Amino acid sequence: MKPIPGINAPAKGNMAVLKPYDANKYVPDGYIFTRWVASMPWWAPFLILAVMAIWPALAHAQSRFSTAEAFDALWRWMPFLLKSGFFFNVLISVLAMTIGTLAGAALGLAQISLHRPVRAMAWFITQLFRNSPWLVLLFIVLLAFPFEVNIFGTVVRIPDWIKGVIGLSFPVMANISEVVRGAIQSVPTTQWEAAESLAFSRRQILWQIILPQCYKRMLPPWMNWYAILTMATPLCSLLGIEELITLSRQAMESEDNHPELLVPFFGFALLLFFAYCYPIARLTIWLERKFVVKL
């Protein structure tokens, strides 16, 4: 083979040579968020909080409100923020993940349908919600859905947090759809052919042979998306939904909005989300290594 300067032979000049792009070498990592969280040591949020606390200490010279008073205010509000705030974030994430998982599983199965119109519609819905900003979807749901409905003469009010659950379930649905489709298509086609040779129907092949093998493959990415969803629940605060961030702002306003309150209250929110999502991230990485498909 004739040597090519700059690739398999020394360059003859000072001009840079761009090497061929290897598409198989650079594969997108769907667990980049989870790997980042799991790689953080347990003491990282405490270190960040300590660094952030330097600012109110420096500002104390110009304010009569001390850092100690700020943490004392946080201590008084902590049970309320935990019970009525963070637990509500967890509730929103669990409900949105439940709805998104059920709808996403159905949409993922529709993507492998034998009927072309069904596949095309499922693919369009998946790509539409998968590539849409989460905050935009939340605003659309909040403004498009009615505030109340009339059912047989009875007026039923729809609270804003229900709209938040629905708005967050749409992107989750689209991403779970891709997880289901990818897991099913990762099963070797020889298993489909072997089952067809034994006169199994397509429904029997899917529910009795293919899907049981997909559960372990889908579990790590499913948990990864749940961690991402939980971290996205503070977006609901922009819609006025009373969750942790909204209640933290209200608590700071009741304490006269001193700048020294920012680090304790939002640092407390950071620690809560980290303490909840860090074990999920570690478990996700462990499950990914345990259930990895070995070819």
At residue 23, the pLDDT reads 45
Asked, for residue 271, whether it belongs to a domain, the answer is: yes
Mean pLDDT (the chain, rounded): 80
Question: What is the identity of the amino acid at 116?
Answer: R
At residue 212, the pLDDT reads 84
Q: Encoding tokens for residue 21?
A: 């792009």
At residue 25, the pLDDT reads 47
**111 contacts 173 by C-beta, under 8 angstroms:** no
At residue 21, the pLDDT reads 44
Q: Which domain holds residue 146?
A: 71-290
Three-class DSSP category at 150: strand
- What are the φ/ψ torsions at residue 115 (nearest 5 degrees)? -90, 120
What's the predicted TM-score (pTM) here?
0.75
Three-class DSSP category at 19: coil
Q: How far apart are CA 36 and CA 278, in angstroms?
A: 10
- What are the φ/ψ torsions at residue 13 (nearest 5 degrees)? -130, -170
Q: pLDDT per residue over 151-189, tens digit each?
A: 777 787 888 888 889 999 999 999 999 999 988 888 888
User: How many other CB atoms sit within 10 Å of the CB of residue 195?
Assistant: 18
Spatial CA neighbour of 100 closest among 134, 148, 68:
134
pLDDT at 146 over 90: no
Q: Which CATH number does the domain housing residue 103 bear?
A: 1.10.3720.10
**184 contacts 211 by C-beta, under 8 angstroms:** yes
Number of H helices, E strands in the chain: 13, 2
Q: pLDDT per residue over 97-107, tens digit each?
A: 999 999 999 99
Q: pLDDT per residue over 30-78, tens digit each?
A: 566 666 666 777 677 667 666 666 655 555 544 566 777 888 888 888 8
Count of positions (residues) in the chain: 295
Asked, for residue 230, whether it belongs to a domain, the answer is: yes
Asked, for residue 193, whether it belongs to a domain, the answer is: yes
Q: Is 87 exposed, middle or buried (0-12, 13-18, 19+ CB in 10 A)?
A: middle
**230 contacts 9 by C-beta, under 8 angstroms:** no
Asked, for residue 212, whether it belongs to a domain, the answer is: yes
pLDDT at 223 over 50: yes
Asked, for residue 56, whether it belongs to a domain, the answer is: no
| CA 193, 197, 199, 200 torsion-angle sign | negative
Q: How far apart are CA 241 and CA 162, in angstroms?
A: 10
Total domains in the fold of the chain: 1
Instruction: Please name the residues in contact with 25: beta carbons below 8 A apart, sequence gap of 6 or more.
Output: none
Asked, for residue 213, whether it belongs to a domain, the answer is: yes
Asked, for residue 37, whether it belongs to a domain, the answer is: no
Asked, for residue 89, whether it belongs to a domain, the answer is: yes
Q: Encoding tokens for residue 150?
A: 């009339």
Spatial CA neighbour of 18 closest among 2, 26, 7, 3:
7
Out of 10-19, 59-68, 201-210, 281-290, least confident range: 10-19
> Which carries the bigger pLDDT value, residue 219 or residue 48?
219
| CA 173, 179, 182, 187 torsion-angle sign | negative
Mean pLDDT of 131-143: 89
> Distance of CA 260 to CAs 53, 71, 176, 193, 246, Å?
9, 9, 41, 67, 18
Instruction: Please name the residues in contact with 249: beta carbons below 8 A apart, sequence gap of 6 or more.
Output: 237
